[in-house]
Amino acid sequence: MVEKIQKIKVAFRLGENEGNPAEFNYQGKGYVLYNGTEVSLPVDVVDHLNSLKYPEYKLEHDEATGQMVSKLVGYKHRFFCVPLDMRKVAESQARAE
């Protein structure tokens, strides 16, 4: 028996490089997503995309050495997948538990 893949409709947003599409493979399937589009994606893909972050640094003056040093100030999300139907999110979370 083949298990049906749970999908959810999301608004896709790029957190960086907004002029280009996001092209990637996830578990052997290729995806091309454009900023500002509404798409139906498997819940696993949405979870994966929402977990991707990159560090953000800021240059600060180090009083002890007089040098400029790079300090980690936080993380930014690379992608945002905002669910458009919260009922499906609740259903998929209930199934996972």
Q: Which two tokens stand for residue 28?
A: 């052997």
CA distance 8 to 77: 20
Count of Cβ atoms closer than 10 Å to residue 33 Cβ: 19
Look at 90 and 12; give whichever has higher pLDDT: 12
Confidence class of residue 95 from pLDDT cuts 50, 70 and 90?
low
Confidence class of residue 17 from pLDDT cuts 50, 70 and 90?
confident
Domain positions in the chain: 7-96
Query: pLDDT tens across 23-56, in order?
Result: 999 999 999 999 999 999 999 999 999 999 999 9
Query: pLDDT tens across 47-87, in order?
Result: 999 999 999 999 999 999 999 999 999 999 999 999 987 66
CA distance 72 to 70: 7
Give the burial string for 72-90 (b: 16+ CB within 10 Å, else e). Answer: eeeeebbbebebeeeebee
The confidence score (pLDDT) of residue 6 equals: 87
Count of Cβ atoms closer than 10 Å to residue 45 Cβ: 21
